[in-house]
Amino acid sequence: MGRDLEKFFQEYGIKQHMSMPKYPQSNGQVKASNKMILDCLKKSLTNKKEKWPDELPGCLWAYRTTKRRETGETPFSLAFGSEAIIHPNVTKPSITTLLPNIEQNNKKMVTSLDLAEEKREQTSTRNAAYQQQLLSSYNTRAKIRQF
């Protein structure tokens, strides 16, 4: 990362987290998410391998909006505090998208943002329980050997 970019980040108070060999846990997370995206691309591209740039946005959308077993939440909702909504240009317009109630929408967004921190805490608890379950499952199958 260049010094100019670092100055820019410091000036605007931006914290950048990078995946480095120094942090193997984050590298494993990146590899796992890349593997899931590649699996999605492989499934959607049976005989048309050269069309992968057209299929990539759909695979990314699917990855970001699918609930994970370990957290029970979507990555999008954990990052932004609300569920992802498909862009209106992608779907057919309906009465609700043509005539939105702005006040009601604003109230729902405020409520959603208020509950975002609570949702993250619940997800953290769920994730810890999931890891404990994996550990106990692993330990029941592990064979103790003495040398």
Examine the pLDDT at 145 and tell me if it is beyond 70.
yes
Half-sphere exposure (Cβ direction) of 79: Cα atoms closer than 13 Å: 7
Buried b (16+ CB within 10 A) or exposed e, 15-53: eeeeeeeeeeeeeeeeeeeeeeeeebbeebbeeeeeeee
Mean pLDDT within 108-125: 81
Query: CA–CA separation, 145 vs 147, rounded Å?
Result: 7
At 84, the pLDDT band (50, 70, 90 cuts) reads: confident
- Position 5 scores a pLDDT of 77
Percentage of the chain beyond pLDDT 90 is 0
Look at residue 40 and give its three-state secondary structure: helix
Instruction: Give the type of residue at 26.
Output: S
- pTM of the entire predicted model: 0.43
